């Protein structure tokens, strides 16, 4: 399978950003572990802090088998990203969060993206991405 992992704003700072919440491992290091673990599949990683670039990437991967998306704070604000997800052919879209957004501030409880996704995984640290991959491969 060809699977896109897309990370939104501030997730380039994983490993140094609010480590009590997001941990001290960079996504690049973690992504290498995923590539090794899921060798039978083609994983592609993209990160941007810019909403339009995330939308362009979602459009670009329209024919991939799955998108695993952590839109960061855009989760709670972006109708444009939700519309992009509605527009693509990709059959499986998993929304991922490192932290449990429901255990945090109320403004993190609403997601514009969840209604457009196959499912949501939130609160398992970086392991949320592995669980999302397992979910994609199970179904």
Residues annotated as part of the active site: 22, 97
The verdict on 26 binding ligand DQA (CB under 6 A) reads no
Residue 108 binds ligand DQA, judged by CB under 6 A? yes
Minimum CB separation of residue 22 from ligand DQA in Å reads 7
Q: How many CB atoms lie within 10 A of CB 136?
A: 22
Interacting stretch for ligand DQA, rule CB under 6 A, among 35-43, 51-59, 67-75, 83-91? 67-75
Binding residue (CB under 6 A) for ligand DQA from 10, 12, 49, 118: 10
Considering only 38, 99, 131, 134, the residue that binds ligand DQA (CB under 6 A) is 99
Task: Indicate the residue among 43 and 132 with the shorter CB distance to ligand DQA.
Answer: 132
CA-closest candidate to residue 29, choices 96, 126, 121, 136: 126
Q: What is the DSSP string of 86-135?
A: HHS--SEEEEEESS-GGGS-GGGS--SSGGGSSEEEESSTTHHHHHHHHH
* Residue of the chain from 61, 70, 85, 126 that contacts ligand DQA (CB under 6 A): 70
Location of structure tokens 């950003």: 17
122, two tokens: 């939130």
Q: Does 14 bind ligand DQA (CB under 6 A)?
A: no
Judged by CB under 6 A, does residue 73 bind ligand DQA?
Answer: yes
Stretch that binds ligand DQA, among 32-40, 58-66, 78-86, 96-104 (CB under 6 A): 96-104
DSSP, res 36: H
CA distance linking residue 114 with residue 76, whole number of Å = 10
């Amino acid at each position: 399978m060809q699977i896109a992992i897309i990370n939104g704003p501030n997730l380039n700072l994983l490993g140094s950003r609010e480590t009590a919440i997001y941990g001290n491992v960079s996504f690049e290091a973690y992504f290498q572990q995923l590539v090794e673990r899921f060798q039978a599949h083609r994983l592609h990683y993209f990160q941007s802090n810019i909403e339009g670039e995330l939308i362009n990437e979602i459009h670009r991967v329209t024919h991939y088998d799955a998108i695993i998306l952590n839109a960061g704070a855009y989760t709670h604000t972006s109708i444009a990203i939700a519309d992009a997800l509605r527009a693509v052919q990709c059959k499986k879209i998993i929304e991922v969060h490192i932290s449990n957004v429901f255990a945090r501030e109320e403004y993190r409880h609403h997601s514009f993206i969840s209604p457009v996704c196959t499912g949501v995984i939130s609160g398992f640290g970086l392991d949320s991405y592995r669980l999302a991959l397992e979910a994609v491969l199970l179904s």
